Amino acid sequence: MIALEEAQAKVNRDLAVLTPVDVPIIDSLGMVLAETVAAEEAIPPFANTAMDGFAVRAADTAGATKESPITLPVVATIAAGSVAPRPLAPGEAMRIMTGAPLPDGADAIIMVELTRPAGFDVDLLAEVPVGNHIRPAGDDIQEGADVLHPGTVLGPGHLGVLASLGRLTVRCYPRPRVGVMSTGDELVEGPQPLKPGQIRDSNRLTLLSMAREAGFTPVDLGMIRDDERAIERALRTGVATCDAVITSGGVSMGDFDYVKAVLTRVGEFSWMQVAIKPAKPLVFGLLEDVPVFGLPGNPVSSMVSFELFARPGLRRTMGRLDAERQRVPAVANEPMKRQEDGKIHFNRVFVSRDDDGTYRARRTGGQGSHQLLAMATANGLAILPNGDGVDEGEIMDVMLLDVV
């Protein structure tokens, strides 16, 4: 057996960051920025009002109160998207809507709630200072400023900034296209009654879903029977169309592990027995320079193997600095005992968080590598180093599978 860290290092050595591409900003959500974005113009591009109200000269409001209003003639109305017909002269007001450009001559906005209609005039019911409710040009972004930097994971707000700067595309690291195939004559799909020895294929859908959740573009390579030519054909299709390929099943030590036989023949692959439970067997290597992950066939083993090897490795290829799942110390809400066997055990647990920030974890059910329901209801993996486990109330490390 080899240590987990050694196996992860073998995987990461052969995974290269993908070449950046120009992406329409509408498609770039969740992608990693590969360029510095500089503002070619100020945002906002002109001084504008933050309120519906009246553009005035602040000096013309001096002394105004509800009891002693100051009355000014309203000489124009400025809607958002339009401009004033002329500069504002002393002793005048212009009706103005939120976002509309400030007219020349005005230096303050008095919001409509502090005014009262007076025919074609307006009564000002309060005094306002210079700059009141005015958003200066460049108040958000100054022209020439670097606003977004390489390594940024683009969220909705970032896309809004790009749109406000007039960008239609942005240079990002692409999402890896990850092909997923399952193998085995015992696999079937659909609701038909199972014949003796048959099981329904759950791994392919699970792994495709995990690939999508990780930010990759999943590609279904199908359910392949135990036939070397069919498996090789599917693998070569995968490496021709994808940035990585994941197989499920056929990588153990048995006589009928056809995936192992094909990969041994067509490429240079590492056959690893990793000191972990579940997910001990792992195959990894390059086929025509495309990484191929051979994951075990037991459903929980395939999911844990994906979490430990494929997910973090492939997230690095898309420029993610947060490739690894978050790990936190958690209190065991029950004993989690184990026997010494030289392996790290990953127990499926449900993690909660107290008001004081303390994480707590309990097992979600059976810990067999075939017991998918316990994995489905888990939101964390308790990491139990070689030894006898932990007692109730002891602290252990937990890998979070979602935000708690």
- The angle that helices 228-241 and 258-266 make with each other, rounded to 10 degrees, is 60
What is the reported pLDDT for 60?
A: 98
Sign of the Cα torsion 82, 85, 90, 95 reads: negative
Could you identify the residue written with the tokens 């690894």?
Answer: 324
- Architecture per CATH, 48-135: Beta Complex (2.170)
Share the mean pLDDT of the chain. 95
CB atoms < 10 A from the CB of 296, how many? 24
The reply to whether 21-43+139-173 shares the fold of 4-18+175-317 is: no
pLDDT in tens, 342-393: 999 999 999 999 999 999 999 999 999 999 999 999 999 999 999 999 999 9
> Confidence class of residue 256 from pLDDT cuts 50, 70 and 90?
low
Domain ranges of the chain: 4-18+175-317, 21-43+139-173, 48-135, 327-400
C-alpha span between 269 and 10 (Å, rounded) = 11
- Give Cα separations from 75 to 8, 48, 129, 185 (angstroms): 72, 18, 21, 83
pLDDT in tens, 176-221: 999 999 988 899 999 999 999 999 999 999 999 999 999 999 999 9
Please tell me the CATH code under which domain 327-400 is placed.
2.40.340.10
Is residue 314 within 8 Å of 178, Cβ to Cβ?
yes
What is the reported pLDDT for 253?
A: 57
What is the reported pLDDT for 259?
A: 85
Closest of 280, 275, 277, 315 to residue 295, by C-alpha: 280
- Give Cα separations from 220 to 135, 177, 214 (angstroms): 51, 10, 16
Q: Where are the beta strands (DSSP E) in 157-236?
A: 169-173, 177-183, 187-188, 199-200, 217-224
pLDDT in tens, 21-43: 999 999 999 999 999 999 999 99
The DSSP secondary structure of 224-293, one letter per residue, reads E-S-HHHHHHHHHHHHHH-SEEEEES--SSSTT-HHHHHHHHHSEEEEEEBSEES--EEEEEEETTEEEE
Asked whether the predicted pLDDT for residue 252 surpasses 70, the reply is no
- Give Cα separations from 373 to 154, 299, 348, 349, 363 (angstroms): 34, 10, 10, 12, 12
What is the reported pLDDT for 258?
A: 82
CB atoms < 10 A from the CB of 113, how many? 11
- Architecture per CATH, 4-18+175-317: 3-Layer(aba) Sandwich (3.40)
Asked whether the predicted pLDDT for residue 170 surpasses 60, the reply is yes
Asked whether the predicted pLDDT for residue 264 surpasses 90, the reply is no
Q: Tell me which H or E stretch contains 109.
A: strand 108-111
What is the reported pLDDT for 158?
A: 98
Summarize the confidence of residues 133-162 as an average pLDDT.
97
Amino acid at 367: Q
Is residue 347 within 8 Å of 390, Cβ to Cβ?
no
> Confidence class of residue 267 from pLDDT cuts 50, 70 and 90?
confident
Asked whether the predicted pLDDT for residue 399 surpasses 80, the reply is yes
* CATH 3.30.950.10 at 21-43+139-173, yes or no: no
Asked whether the predicted pLDDT for residue 324 surpasses 60, the reply is yes
Asked whether the predicted pLDDT for residue 260 surpasses 90, the reply is no
C-alpha span between 225 and 390 (Å, rounded) = 42
Is residue 313 within 8 Å of 15, Cβ to Cβ?
yes
Asked whether the predicted pLDDT for residue 254 surpasses 70, the reply is no
Summarize the confidence of residues 265-274 as an average pLDDT.
90
What is the reported pLDDT for 369?
A: 93
The fraction of the chain above a pLDDT of 70, given in percent, is 98
3-state secondary structure of 166: coil
What is the reported pLDDT for 257?
A: 74
pLDDT in tens, 73-93: 999 999 999 999 999 999 999
Sign of the Cα torsion 259, 264, 269, 272 reads: positive
pLDDT in tens, 51-79: 999 999 999 999 999 999 999 999 999 99
